[in-house]
Amino acid sequence: MLATKVYFRYRRGEPWVLDDASLDLSPGSVAEITGPNGTGKSTLLRLLAGLLRPVRGGITGRPPVVGYAPERFPSAQPFTVAAYLRHMGAVRRAPVPEELTARLGMDHLLGQRLSDLSKGSAHKVGLAQALAGDPGLLILDEPFAGLDAQARAELSVIVAEVAARGGIVVASDHQGDLRAVPGVTRHEVRDGKITQVALPVDDDPLTTLTIKLPQSRAAALAARLRAEGHEVS
Amino acid sequence: MIPLVAFRLSGYVRSHRIFQPLLGLLAVLSILYATGVPAGGELPSYADSAGILMLVFAWAARGLLDNEPDEQRLIAITAVGRRRELTAGLLAALGLTSLLALTAVVFPLFVGFAETPSGADLGYGAGLHLLAVLAGTALGALTSRPVLASPAASAAVLVGGYMAILLLSSASPWASVPVLDWMNAAHHDDLPQRLAVIVASALAWSAAGLAGYAAVRRVRG
């Protein structure tokens, strides 16, 4: 997927939000979008998702199945979590897997009304609907905001899994949790341009940790630790 | 697309916003049929009902299209594509307004008409309500949030637009949706002769309105 010399502004006469911005996203890539507030990160995500059209330039090679989780899930809707996910599964022609709601720690929320959810819980619903149907392009706007530690770790694993099967993941991330995903690249939006920046080198010395746990849980923990960027042998 | 239509309708009904046009519908039907309609007055009553209820249909369509939050509309666009999302919204609005229109056509058969109208009058009445459904849905879509973000401006344009339609239709059947023209024709036993012009004008204006809505949505999302 290629964004080439993209120019975008919301109204004629206003300053450009993106000005000659380009981004190359190959299958299986995970891109972290950073930048100060108000520089156009969410606008870039919406352009990549196909929700906005560039004024000039173009975006080509967008995968047919797109999952989009907005920064603020619209919880002001008259559905329970289960009913909403059932509807969205039907709309996407791919039901939200029960395993996914379990991994995100939201099984106990299924009977609750969307309007009663906390911000973090509502955010999980937004993530679950975006992940239905094995998206080839997953757009996540601040996906870790408000999530508990377990859900943050699990989301990193899920992102790594989407990339492992060839999907493209693009996410804005102020928390920095996405850096735990192997192979993530970081792109900064500033002054209308997109620049790939190097991930910070951690000069913390390495140490080896031995963990004892039931054998049945070893594989899951190993996968989670790998997704967080740790070496597991 | 059908699951998205069902989702939109379900959200609208569950939000209880459906009571607003239902109350409007019942108020209009009560006023029209409270004193009863003598034999021979069925078609003029249907024509008045269709003309007046166009405003209720527009209000219902606008309410349905505005019911879901903007972020949910974005989610739906990524799920099914821009064109299907737009079509699903309009189909849901047409389904809702058609249901209201069906109620308006059936209601006086039980409460209001002294005699059951002839098959032809029933057909004309249903057809005029269908024209009102199309025109009302187009007016509602043109005043929905993606087109007019301000609720106050939207309500004012919706009511003002309906009044403008009434005023313009008194000048010529082609000047706007020919509401006054079909009322006038029905009251003077002239509807079959003027029907072709009335249908053509109403369909053309409704199509123009819906095309305008689609054009704005293409730019604004």
DSSP string, A93-124: TSPPPHHHHHHTT-GGGTTSBGGG--HHHHHH
Across the interface, whether the CB atoms of A88 and B75 are under 8 A apart is answered: yes
Residue B47: predicted pLDDT? 97
Calculate how close chain B gets to A53, using CA atoms only, in Å: 8
Give me the tens of pLDDT residue by residue for chain A, a chain 233 residues long.
999 999 999 988 999 999 999 999 999 999 999 988 888 999 999 999 999 999 999 999 999 999 999 999 999 999 999 999 999 999 999 999 889 999 999 999 999 999 999 999 999 999 999 999 899 999 999 999 889 988 999 999 999 999 999 999 999 987 778 887 888 999 999 999 999 987 766 566 667 788 888 888 888 887 777 666 666 77
**ipTM of predicted complex:** 0.89
pTM over 0.90: no
Rounded Cα–Cα distance for residues B92 and A229 (Å): 47
Rounded Cα–Cα distance for residues B14 and B68 (Å): 12
**Interface check A76 vs B, CB under 8 A:** yes
Structure tokens at A4: 């080439």
**Interface check A139 vs B, CB under 8 A:** yes
Q: Of B37, B191, B28, B33, give the one whose Cα is nearest residue B124.
A: B191
DSSP reduced 3-state for A54:
coil
Helices then strands, each counted (H, E), chain A: 6, 9
Q: What are A68's strand-pairing partners?
A: A139
Q: Which of B6, B76, B78 sits opposite A50 (nearest CB)?
A: B78
Nearest CA in chain A to B68: A77
Question: Could you give the residue ranges of the DSSP H alpha helices within chain A?
Answer: 41-49, 81-91, 98-103, 119-131, 149-164, 218-227
Across the interface, whether the CB atoms of B77 and A50 are under 8 A apart is answered: yes
DSSP reduced 3-state for B178:
coil
Neighbours of A16 (CB within 10 A): 17
**Interface check A46 vs B, CB under 8 A:** yes
Rounded Cα–Cα distance for residues A55 and B213 (Å): 21
Q: Of B15, B29, B186, give the one whose Cα is nearest residue B103.
A: B29
**Interface check A87 vs B, CB under 8 A:** yes
